[in-house]
Structure 1
Amino acid sequence: MESLVSEGLSCHPQQGEASPCCQLSVKILEARNLFWTDLLSEADPYVVLRLPTASAITFKTKTVSNSSHPIWNETFSFRIQRQVKNILELKVYDADVVTEDDALFTVLFDTIEVNPGKPIRKTFSLNPQGQEELYVEFHAEEISDSPEHLITNNVLVTRELSCLTVQVDKKGSTAAVTEGDELELTLKGSYEDTQSSTLGSAMADSFLFHYITAQETEMRGYLKSLAVDGEGEGSPGKNLTVPLKYLPMGEEMAVAVPAPEATALRLKLRTNSCSEKLAVRLGFGLCDEEHAFLKKRKQVVAKALKRVLQLEHELQEDEVPVIGVMAIGGGARAMTSLYGHLSALKKLDLLDCVTYISGTSGSTWTLASLYQDPDWSQQDLEKPISHAREHMTKSKLDAFSLGSMRGYQQELRQRAEEGRTPSFVDLWALVLEFLLHGKVNEHRLSEQRASLEQGQNPLPLYLGLNVKENNLETLDFKEWVEFSPYEIGFLKYGAFIPSELFGSEFFMGRLMKKLPESRICFLEGLWSNIFSVNLMDAWYDLTSSAETWKQHIRDKTRNIEKEPPGSQKTSWIEMSWLEPRTALTQGLQGLLTGRPLHHQCHNFLRGLHLHQDYCGQRNFRTWGDFQLDSDPSQLTPLQPQLCLVDAAYFINTSCPLLLRTGRSPDLILSFGYSLNSPFEALEQMETYCRGQGIPFPRVELSHEERLQPKECHFFSDPDCPEAPTVLHFPLVNLSFREHSAPGVKRSPEELAGGQVDLTGFLSPYSLANMTYNGDDFDRLLYLSAYNVQNNQGEILRALRTALKHRKQRQP
């Protein structure tokens, strides 16, 4: 089937196209040479089959007792969608009467190898060092009736949903129930999974389940408290099981939940097509709202460039360069410095030349505050800076007073009632709000759209990082998450939702439960979430150097270069042999990689399936986490929750947002706020881009520049016209020591104002410090502003280069 979205770059995917399903038959034949699995006797093996993209039901063969050469010859059937990545999991177990059954081996098989009408037989060698083998036959036939309508960006796939309504027939029921009895209904693979209701006059009249139409599943029901002597819960004789494939669409069916003494609780079932529209946008391009903003913003930028560069002619729309401000993190130091940098750009009449401002961690605090005013960049920044100074220099003890803690507790309780899981990170967000504002701030991210309606301000972009909650350190798995006033989404998967829906519950791209939009402070807590660290991350941070980081990334990049994604045969995940892990090793790994203070929020990718060719798509970035990215079961769409942390866990930069497909910056003003590593984030970004194939200039520095960084560094790559020019401003104190303004020398009485301690052990600008005295705040603010103003000539030269760069990039 042709791609439904050309190049995966469409803002909005086309309407779903029909795609037929296939019936896959899996015949488990036999296994051989299972000699070593049991020390006291021969194995009692059986095989468990799971194909979650096709069936919510787990299948199991019979158990063959005392056999090293078990023969099963059992066939299982799955209805599969071939546009989806279908990975069949076969697990060989050894049954044990006394202890839990031992999982001996796991085989993962990509069903794309099975072509319709062409049966194949596979021999899986279970142990690379041994002789154990599993024999399986596969056969597929295309189903011509009832094709599925799919929507995809060639990485993710949304499938058709159906709604099952279960109505309790109180009149037709004969069961003698009490108010303490409870009806429990389960539909595995559905959004709701399990629902229950206490019987009696107040019991729910109906239940609703959302499930994938083509997926084979079944509804189970039983009366919980009527189970006696172990014959109720879990007993087939007391359970109701209804395979949904036998339930005609739109027709009502009456069934009975068994109860004691030949009585029954009657239910009426009806299944219909799901009417919920797609709420997740699939596409790697920019959304319509951003395109509309860019059209307006280019008019502002064109006028500003004509003024500051004294151009003789008006710039046409396609001649206007894209200029981005990139700010890194660094707590209160980053927040204060960014205020200084932006105020300097404003004084130089350069702020209107900027299209985007991106931030992470502490720099997001500045942006979140500024964008509460729809016209902030058109006004003097004295008022927001004065507000920041007031709260940075005040005592922070009130943030932890009894009254404040009660207020935090009340709000966390309210969030729990709304359907969110409160965490320590939420508490940090509320404390941070008090530290930065001294009161509750009702502003929300979506409200920042008012700042963009006329293109009057640059578009703010905020960066987060999604990681694994447990079992992995951050360098082994991380995914960029973009936050803007318009949308929030994953750059890796090309999936976005309106910003006001973040935190709500989704399933298969549909909005299932809308929650109130969180106040901006809770997002600031996520963007600067330094608490979801695990021991492996902490140890790496303490012991590694910049070269260690770069070597780690280069190693992974080389692996990709040897075998590029998408170049593998269809059997790239044909067989995987996994040894059982002991409880000790599992516990140790959990201790090292668990995140005890991690934040959880609902995953808006939940339920979405991976496209059959997702790994080969150029927008799906696989170089860094290749082993996990090749296994769909390890990826984010299968996780119920997101675990978002500070992006500095990987690279302390917000640059990936500016380099996203469709933005194509010509010039990036890079503001670094590191005290000890002025070029580390920039060099890491270059390494990252090289591994990803993203155009980025070489960060080449002389020995002298490394020892004594300048106020401004110019980086470009004439051999790569697609790469932006980068103007980097590290946090240094050079001529500011002797100059109060560009070209204005300090008097002897003013020299103290130029002494800004950026490197000392007792520097007031350490990451952990959230309280400055007035002089320290002013010195850092003025230093940052001065460094920009003192390099006005370099910025103007870079702007002229950006104009030429934009012309060169035109077709």
Structure 2
Amino acid sequence: MPRRHSAVPYKEQSIIRLLTVKVIRALNIPWADWMSNADCYVCLWLPTASNKMVKTKTVSNSSCPVWNETFLFTICSNVKNVIHLTLHDEDVISRNDLLFTVAFDVGSIAAGESTLRSFCLSTDGQQILEMEFTVQAIQDGFETIVTNGVVVSREMTGVEVCVDKMRIPERLFGCHLDLTVEDSCEKIRKIELIRPVLCGDYTYSCRFHCMKRWNPELAVELKGTAGQCRCVIPVNSISAGNEAKINLCATQVFSKCCWCNRCCLPLRSTKMNLEVTVKAQECSEKLDTRLGFDICEEEKIFLSKRKQRVAQTLKRVLKLDRDLEEHEVPVIAVAATGGGVRAMTGFFGTLAGLKKLNLLDCVTYVTGTSGSTWTMSKLYDDANWSSKDLCEPIEEACRNVIKSKKPCFSFEKMAHYKEEMNKRAQMGYRNSSTDLWGLLIESMFYDQVYETTLSDQRKALCDGQNPLPMYVSLSVKSNTTSTMDYKEWCEFSPYEVGILKYGAYIKSEDFGSKFCMGRKTCALPESRICFLQGLWSNIFSINLMDAWFSAVSSEHFWYRFTRDNVLDLDTEEAMKRRNASAALDTRLLQPSGDFNRLIRGILTDRFLDGEHHNFLRGLQMHCDYNSGANFGPCDGILNHSPNDLTPSSEYLCMVDSAYYINASFPPLLREERKVDLILAFDYGLEDKFKTLVGTQSYCTDHNLAFPKIEVSEEDRSNPKECYAFSGDESTKCPVILHFPLVNCTFKKYKEPGVPRQTVSEMEDGILQMESFFSPYQVFRLTYSKPDFDKLVKLTQYNVENNEEMILQALRNAIACRQQCRAK
């Protein structure tokens, strides 16, 4: 079984080495066009050593080009260093053709070793790319990294560039400075030289965050009507804590520049000097991103408080003759699926049923996705909601569900949405259709504009008075890949936001801020809760592949158009060396043809994607990242391509988890949360067990404990109100009580044990859920009041009618805890 990655971050001393890559030659390269042989060049991309892509010269009209060019890279041994070698055919008229891509893990080369590799570019072995790789030790070659065994944070240097406004020559007002550090997080910054206004701020400044070992260079270029001049200095030439002066000398004729003590050539017109100060400082070792697979300290404190309340409630509800000891108190969770307004309405009824049975105070966690998150975010606006009657929030929800949605699309409302989105843009956020959707949700289903944020919900947890809410979404690729090919579970709680497979978390108020290498580089104000609601139920980032899968549950027909052909190039000897060093396969990617690329773009492009600043940006993959249980094949085809994983992206694209599994189980299945019993409420109209089967498959791929879901054909055609699924004694998996959305006995009983008698009562028990014209279809945003009331009463009834089954599951959970302690 794969090992577990570290629960807490730890430091490692990593060896820094020099990698020399020599591009020798290629053999038998096919013609790229009918006029001549290929005009070949090779590009080398190693993002763990530099942001820059380097390339060879172009050898014209040759099927066997020879380059013999050498490139140097500084690599960190504890990072997964995979170099991409791309062979191109240069074309003057049209865009250059990408012929082949080879992904080679340089971790398979030992220090002090030089190896000649011939990469076969065709199945017949005729087309070859010859390369030579050499790895050497370097002096003082050590670096301290912080890692959890999956992602790595490396040492960084901060570079601050300052210009004194009061010392800018008057003739330079209207010009601007272009500042470039290509090997930095920010890459390019711009300073407009404007006449200063007496406001107390007399300095223009901006900051770059650079990898300490990358030897970055700062390029300062003055542009404008007064002329143009440019200077480049190596950042590492400035000692940490010190500063350097750059004198830019500009004229309208021509200019030269110097920095520090270098001299300028005489200018033929009036010289205008602009002094730029560059300061270097090492970034703090303390990270703003928590690396580790354990739960956060705030959640541990909450659990301690919540456990006392749960113990008292269990004693009262189960009529126990003594107080439960701490180790005997089970962790109970409620998990709700999505389903738009149907899920929101049904979840209100479910929670009302649990409240009526006095079971809400037995629950430690509540998770939701899509529409069920609308219910949760409304309830947690009240710090003591679970101790109150739920009639008032249900009445408010009813008022908003039955009202006309046309006013939400009025000119007045549109002006309000535009104003709100302009505010977000000024804060530094990227506006998107997801933000507009969040504003629409607020307008359609809430009585007012809520200024509350996700972190504000901590008030509802400070004394353990309510269950801990967790909201679930999926992180996907914004284009080129379908959700089934690449998806990663992301959880949001009032304490933290994180992506499970990387073990990387940030404070909830920091979501949306800019990060690099685990450090916050630009703080943005926390988003209002409505913008997160739009993200959790983001239906706009769907692509055609997702839509196809949702319709027929299969994508296989389209794979030929959306995936490049990938071949394993390792020989038997290379495989032995690779296994000994835990290196990845050497892979050849043969790009699709023009037609396939066109189809891929149509099928995988997310036309209205909502992107957010990526808090994983810059983090690098640990050399052993793929050997842990968190990385299963279920997450997608990019797991063996570390350069393309989420930390390499500038932005996150979040979608509704219904495009994969319409469930909110994953946060509850983390081993660290030790959940004993999950009350799972499914608000789907069709396959009543689809979410369970999908979750079981996910857990199998990730070696997570989950009960085996076995359902008879009779139950599939005539499902009951509640099912219990449990594992055997050898597996420490939670028991699942599954509540599908069915009208089984509610049509005959208005309350448990109270049959319907009058015609009116019989009509109240009829819900049209199966037809295409059902009032509960997912895209219906408005219900009639009878339809709303019926759905709330149905979901409440289904909970109350299975009270004894729930109580027995609670007794079994306590007994299981006691038995485990006895062993």
Q: CA deviation at 1:539?
A: 2.0
Confirm whether residue 244 of structure 1 aligns to residue 240 of structure 2: no
Residues 1:521 and 2:530 are matched in the alignment: yes
Which range is displaced more, 421-430 or 577-586?
A: 577-586
Are 1:721 and 1:808, in contact at CA under 8 Å, matched by a contact in 2?
A: no
Q: Secondary structure in 2 aligned to 1:736? A: coil
Amino acid at match of 2:405: K
1:474 aligns with 2:465: no
Q: Distance in 1 between matches of 2:336 and 2:72?
A: 54
**For each residue in 1:542-601, what CA deviation from the matched residue of structure 2 results, as whole angstroms up to 9, or x when unmatched?**
23379999xxxxxxxxx9xxxx9x995658545333334455432321111111111111
Distance 2:668 2:111 in 1: 45
Q: What is the deviation of 1:146?
A: 6.0
Aligned to 1:221: 220
Match of 2:740 in 1: 730
Aligned counterparts of 1:457 and 1:187: Cα–Cα separation in 2:
49
CA contact (8 A) 1:343 1:785 kept: yes
Secondary structure at the aligned position of 1:415 is classed as helix
Which of 59, 68, 71 aligns to 1:73? It is 68
Q: Which amino acid aligns with 1:717?
A: G
1:375 is aligned, of 371, 377, 384, to: 384
> In structure 2, what is the equivalent of residue 209 of structure 1?
208
How far apart are residue 182 of structure 1 and its match?
A: 2.4
Alignment partner, residue 564 of structure 2: none
The letter for the 2-side match of 1:76 is: F
2:98 alignment partner, one of 94, 103, 106: 103
Selected match of 2:768 from 757, 762, 765: 757
Structure 1 position 390, deviation (Å): 1.6
Write the mapping of 1:398-477 to structure 2, written as runs, cut at 5 A: 398-477=407-486
Offset at 1:800?
1.3
- Alignment match of 1:117 (pick from 112, 115, 120): 112
Match of 1:603 in 2: 614
The answer to whether structure 1 residue 747 and structure 2 residue 757 are counterparts is: yes
Distance change >3 Å, CA 336–CA 217, structure 1 → 2: same
- Asked if the contact 2:191/2:204 (under 8 Å) is kept, the reply is no
Given the superposition, is the C-alpha separation of residues 725 and 97 from structure 1 closer, same or farther in structure 2, using an over 3 Å criterion? closer
Shift of 1:9: 4.0
| Residues 64 and 766 of structure 1, relative CA distance in 2, 3 Å threshold | closer
1:7 Cα offset (Å): 4.7
Partner of residue 776, structure 1: 787
- How many angstroms does 1:139 deviate by? 1.9
Equivalent residues of 1:53, 1:215 under 8 A apart = no
Whether the 8 Å CA contact 1:256–1:267 is kept in 2: the answer is: yes
* Fraction of identical pairs, as percent: 45
Cα distance in 2 for residues equivalent to 1:395 and 1:38:
61
Change (3 A) 1:294 1:682: same
CA distance in 2, matches of 1:337, 1:206: 53
After alignment, is 205-214 or 439-448 more displaced? Answer: 205-214
Residue 3 of structure 1 aligns with which residue?
none
Given residue 8 of structure 1, which amino acid in structure 2 is its aligned partner? H
Q: Displacement, 1:172?
A: 9.6
- Letter paired with 1:731: L
1:59 to 54, 58, 61: 54
CA distance in 2, matches of 1:797, 1:692: 30
1:110–1:570 CA contact under 8 A, matched in 2: no
1:190 aligned onto 2:187: no
Per-residue deviation, 1:720 = 4.1
Specify the alignment match of 2:199 in structure 1: none
CA change 1:261–1:613 in 2 (3 A) is same
Is 1:655 equivalent to 2:669 in the alignment? no
Aligned to 2:642: 632
- Offset, 1:297: 0.9
**TM-score relative to the length of structure 2:** 0.90
Query: What is residue 696 of structure 2 aligned with on the other side?
Result: 686
Matches of 2:344 and 2:166 in 1, distance apart?
66
Q: Residue in 2 aligned with 1:807? A: 818
Deviates more, 1:159-168 or 1:509-518: 159-168
* Separation of aligned partners in 2, 1:571 and 1:122: 19
Where in structure 2 are the equivalents of 1:575-594 lying within 5 Å? 575-594=586-605
Is the 8 Å Cα contact of residues 488 and 635 (structure 2) preserved in structure 1?
Answer: no
**Distance in 1, Cα, partners of 2:5 & 2:762:** 57
**Partners in 2 of 1:781 and 1:319 — Cα distance?**
34
> Which residue of structure 1 lines up, in the alignment, with residue 271 of structure 2?
none
**1:392 matched residue in structure 2:** 401
What is the match of residue 295 of structure 1? 304
For residues 724-767 of structure 1, give each alpha carbon's deviation from its aligned partner in whole angstroms, at most 9, with x where no partner exists: 11111111112212212111122224222212222233322111
Q: What is the aligned partner in structure 2 of residue 284 from structure 1? A: 293
Counterparts of 1:549-564 in structure 2, within 5 Å, are none
Q: 2:805 aligns with which of 794, 798, 804?
A: 794
Is 1:199 the equivalent of 2:189? no
CA contact (8 A) 1:127 1:577 kept: no
Return 5+ residue gaps in structure 1 as ranges: 1-5, 233-237, 550-558
Q: Give the aligned partner of residue 709 of structure 2.
A: 699
CA distance in 2, matches of 1:546, 1:70: 40
Specify the code of the residue in structure 2 equivalent to 1:137: E
Deviations 1:642-699 (A, max 9, x none): 1111111101110112112311211111111111221111121122212222111122
C-alpha spacing 1:268/1:802, structure 2 compared with 1 (3 Å): same
Deviation at 1:204, TM superposition (A): 5.8
Q: Deviations over 1:452-480 (max 9, x none)?
A: 11111111111001111111111111110
Q: Which amino acid aligns with 1:252?
A: E
Cα displacement (A) at 1:37: 4.5
- Code of the residue aligned with 1:586 in structure 2: it is R
Which position in structure 2 is the counterpart of 1:506? Answer: 515
In 2: Cα distance, 1:44 partner to 1:773 partner: 68
Per-residue Cα deviation, 1:203-227 (whole angstroms, up to 9, x for no partner): 9644321111111322223233469
Which of 531, 536, 540 is equivalent to 2:545?
536
Is residue 157–residue 209 contact of structure 2 (8 Å, CA) maintained in 1? yes
8 Å CA contact 1:110, 1:571 repeated in 2: no
Is the 2:331–2:363 Cα contact (8 Å) retained in structure 1? Answer: yes
Query: Are 2:158 and 1:149 aligned?
Result: no
1:338/1:167 CA distance change after superposition, 3 Å: closer
| Alpha-carbon separation, structure 1, partners of 2:128 and 2:203 | 52
RMSD: 2.7
Match of 2:727 among 717, 721, 741: 717
Deviations 1:46-67 (A, max 9, x none): 3222222112333333333444
Seen in structure 2, the aligned counterparts of structure 1 residues 94 and 712 have a Cα distance that, compared at 3 Å, is closer
Q: How far apart in 1 are the matches of 2:648 and 2:308?
A: 43
Aligned equivalents of 1:347 and 1:725: distance in 2?
Answer: 23
Q: Distance in 2 between matches of 1:46 and 1:545?
A: 39
The structural deviation recorded for 1:493 is 0.6
Post-superposition CA distance 1:619-650 (Å, at most 9, x none): x2231245311111211111111111111110
2:584 & 2:12 partners in 1: Cα distance? 28
CA distance in 2, matches of 1:135, 1:109: 13
Task: Tell me the matched-pair count.
Answer: 780
Report the Cα distance in structure 1 between the residues aligned to 2:658 and 2:784, rounded to whole angstroms.
Answer: 27
Asked if the contact 2:171/2:226 (under 8 Å) is kept, the reply is no
TM-score (norm 1): 0.91
More moved, 41-50 vs 144-153: 41-50
Q: Distance in 2 between matches of 1:485 and 1:427?
A: 23
Equivalent-residue separation in structure 1 for 2:342 and 2:335 (angstroms): 15
| Separation (CA, whole Å) in 2 of partners of 1:419 and 1:44 | 44
Q: Distance in 2 between matches of 1:34 and 1:384?
A: 69
- The 1:227/1:481 distance shift into structure 2, 3 A limit, reads farther
In the TM superposition, what whole-angstrom CA distance separates every residue of 1:29-79 from its partner, at most 9, and x where no partner exists? 233333535643344433222222112333333333444333333322111
In structure 2, distance between residues paired with 1:540 and 1:113: 38
Contiguous gaps of at least 5 residues in structure 2: 197-201, 258-273, 559-567, 569-574
The equivalent of 2:9 in structure 1 is: 13
How many Å apart are 1:276 and its aligned residue?
7.5
CA distance in 1, matches of 2:140, 2:717: 71
Counterpart residue number, 2:267:
none
